[in-house]
Amino acid sequence: LSIRVAEANDWYSRSTGINPVLAEGKKTVGLEIAEQLNWQVPDKIFVPTGDGCIIAGVYKAFIDLVRLGWISKLPKLIAVQAEGSSAIVNALESGTAIAPVQSKTIADSISVDSPRDGEKAIIAVQKTKGFGITITDDEILVAQHRLSRNTGIFAEPAAAASFAGFLKAMKRGLIRAGESIVILASGAGLKDIPAAQEKIEIPKAQPATLEGFLTFYNKSK
């Protein structure tokens, strides 16, 4: 529909999976990772994945850097998807073509029925010898809370998904000691405040008295 609307109005379409220039924009995050690490390639990069455009862009960045001779190897790219929106990981694990799913996840930015850049995402994972991993909504919310509390990074659920994927990979023994890991958090938590409130208790107004404060304080300990 977006393509038809763009054609009818002579608009420029930047739709995922259609516009080839999109990957050139998305790849800048990969270039930034490489630059900030002083061109030392990390062992693994965990990428929140919906349509697949970000992980495809990261792959293109590192492929370009190899071709330019700036780096000599590729990082393993890990596609992290919510269990309720896992078309790409399903295809990776089954070795079959991508089949649409009925997406349902709290991570709105990676909630996708039919990934528009799914084939590119699969190539990115396979060519780098990475893997796909899925996490539950509860694991996403726990990761979001932990990320905020321990690092000060307030990520939206879709962005916290990459951290949740990393934690699950750790539990499964998929991370070796001494590996260099990048966890890509691609969206700010202010985009989805209601989701962030799922795992926190909103304080209730208390009487402006010493007794009222002490009652509340003692319950919170």
pLDDT over 70 at 74, yes or no: yes
Q: Round to whole Å and give the CA distance between 121 and 73.
A: 19
Q: How far is CA 16 from the centre of its chain?
A: 16
Q: Round to whole Å and give the CA distance between 34 and 27.
A: 11
Amino acid letter, residue 97: A
| Residue 77 DSSP code | E
- Would you state the pLDDT for residue 138? 94
What CA–CA distances, in Å, run from 206 to 122, 203, 209, 210?
Answer: 53, 9, 8, 10
Q: Which band of pLDDT confidence, cut at 50, 70 and 90, is reported for residue 212?
A: confident
Q: Which residues have CB under 8 Å from 167's CB, separation 6+?
A: 139, 143
Residues in the chain: 221
- Would you state the pLDDT for residue 129? 97
CB crowding 170-194: b at 16 or more within 10 Å, else e: eeeebbeeeeebbbbbbbebebbee
Share of the chain above pLDDT 70, in %: 95
Mean pLDDT over 151-173 rounds to 94
Strand 76-82 relative to strand 181-183, pairing: unpaired
Q: Round to whole Å and give the CA distance between 149 and 144.
A: 9
- Would you state the pLDDT for residue 199? 66
Give residue-wise pLDDT tens across range 179-200: 999 999 988 867 777 776 676 6
- Would you state the pLDDT for residue 155? 85
Q: Round to whole Å and give the CA distance between 178 and 175.
A: 9
Q: Round to whole Å and give the CA distance between 205 and 207.
A: 7
- Would you state the pLDDT for residue 221? 66
Q: In what order do the strands lie in the sheet with 76-82?
A: 131-135, 76-82, 44-48, 181-183
pTM for the whole structure: 0.85
Give residue-wise pLDDT tens across range 82-104: 999 999 999 999 999 999 999 99
Nearest to 118, CA basis, from 24, 51, 23, 49? 51
Nearest to 46, CA basis, from 63, 58, 32, 31? 58
CATH code for the structural domain at 2-220: 3.40.50.1100
pLDDT over 90 at 33, yes or no: yes
Q: Where do the domains of the chain lie?
A: 2-220
Mean pLDDT over 149-160 rounds to 89
